[in-house]
Amino acid sequence: MLFKKLFRLLVLGGAMVGTASGCAGASQTLAGAEKTPEGRDGGASPDGGTAKAQDADGGTADAGGGVTGW
């Protein structure tokens, strides 16, 4: 029950905050709708198509990190 509530409160609540001003509606975003052919940066993938995460062995070819919390 806690986790369902957290999903609504955080994920859905956050999506509403993000899309309330000047962007696609939350329902459009959450439905995984087709992306606009031209994004705000001209449709380019924000990573420039260069990101590589894990190689075949599961090792990181280009390390990213995380954020420690409570």
Partner 1 sequence: MNGGPRREAGEAWAFRARVEREAARRFERLGAAISAFDPGSPVPALLERAAEDERRHAALCAELCVAYGQPVDDGVADEPIAPASLGPRAAVLYEMVAACCLTETESVATLATLLSEEAEPRVREVLHEIARDEVVHSRMGWAHLAREAAAHDVSFLSAWIPSMLSGTVDEGLFTRGEPEPDAEALLRHGVLPRSRKREIFVRTLEEVVLPGLESFGVGAGPARAWLAQQSS
Interface positions with partner 1 (CB under 8 A): 2-4, 6-7, 9-11, 13-15, 17-24, 26, 28-30, 32, 35-36, 39-41, 45-48, 50-54, 60, 62-70
Amino acid sitting at position 15: A
Inter-residue long-range contacts of 8-12, CB under 8 Å, 24+ positions, other chains counted: none
Q: Smallest gap, in angstroms, from Cβ of residue 26 to partner 1?
A: 7
Q: Smallest gap, in angstroms, from Cβ of residue 12 to partner 1?
A: 8
Q: Smallest gap, in angstroms, from Cβ of residue 63 to partner 1?
A: 6
Alpha-carbon distance of 52 to 57, in angstroms, equals 13
Q: What is the DSSP letter of 59?
A: -
Residue 42 has which token pair?
């001209």
